[in-house]
Amino acid sequence: MAVRSSVAILGSLTFLGGLVRLADANVFLGAAHSDPQMELIDVTESALLAELEAALGSGHRHATEKRLKRIEQMISPMFAAMAKNENGKLDSAAAGYILHRLFVQRHGWFIRALEPTGNALGSWNTSKPISILDERVPVHVQELFEKRLGQHGLGRYELAILASSLEHLVHVEALDRLRVSYEAKNLTREDVLTGEEVHGVLDMYMAIYILGFLHTDLATMDSNVSQELHTHVLELYPTWPATQTFLKEIYESVAPTRDYVYFNEVETVIAEIGERYGRFQDLECRELKDTLVAIEDQGVGGAGRVRVSDFYGKALNEGKWQFSESVDYLPSSVLWTSQTL
């Protein structure tokens, strides 16, 4: 099951590994010499961050830097495992693969620009890692990364900066969505909310997030559209009650334990929802996979396939709404399952 928008939602994956750094012999001998390679990396990183600051402002740089350390730690094992070019960096396909795994693992985001044309490793040559910034930044900002990718490839630091930049830009979109949610509830940023009012805002926010693909332009989304999406969310997204429970758990773990809540505190709750939602929805995706594996037909071309009749039977006979995709949407009359979820 996937809800598609500019950034849609899928279940998360885990990639394990390790990165071992070689110690400088001079350090072992007690010499106070610095590592020239690390100095070069620091200069490169600072230069790119400075360019981003000049293009997008100091606020963007500050927010990007806050995310860098955690993202570097997450991509290090994957970066270490990938084949490098003559510059010790990654080409477009490898960079796209790592970014895809990172965003799915951290947030459950499925980004069209990173989607390969098929399941084979060679299909990742069609991914466009720099395109994740499309329509979010000026063209010359994209060109900063495209120039580096085209000339030398992307290093671990540059890849982390690209990922951090996108995460910050998505956070900015989340704040726009929160603004729309407040307006739909006839509230302003200056209002102090009760716990009940916060839950109403969070429900509205999540309905817009899940069904945003029906109306993707937040700038033109008015209260009527927001309320329409909220009204139909249960009809279009039957696991909505579980999502509401998830929102309440996040609120209780993050919001202050008092009877009134300010806008910046609701903003903190929203940020935490973005961090955890991918892992929450991964449970649903794993259940979906288990169901498909349980009904796979060993006699139709081998394991990993499900008969169309069995697929739709789950929807018709057992109320499994996830198994009601149209025939046109399905790739063929026999569904590949085990390899794709």
> DSSP readout, 250-264?
HHHHHS-SSS-B-HH
pTM score, two decimals? 0.64
Across-strand partners of 154? 90
On whether the CB atoms of residues 248 and 280 are closer than 8 A, the answer is no
Q: Give the pLDDT of the chain (341 residues) as one tens digit per residue.
A: 443 333 333 233 332 233 222 223 332 223 333 443 333 344 456 777 777 777 677 777 788 888 888 899 999 999 999 989 998 999 888 888 899 888 887 777 777 778 776 655 566 667 778 888 876 777 877 888 888 888 888 889 889 888 888 888 888 889 999 999 999 999 999 999 999 999 999 999 999 988 876 666 777 788 888 888 898 888 878 789 999 999 999 999 998 888 899 999 999 999 899 888 877 876 666 667 777 777 777 665 556 677 777 777 776 777 665 666 666 545 533 333 333 32
Six-digit token string for 217: 């332009």
* CA atoms in the 13 A half-sphere facing the CB of 33: 11
Q: Indicate the DSSP class of residue 335.
A: E
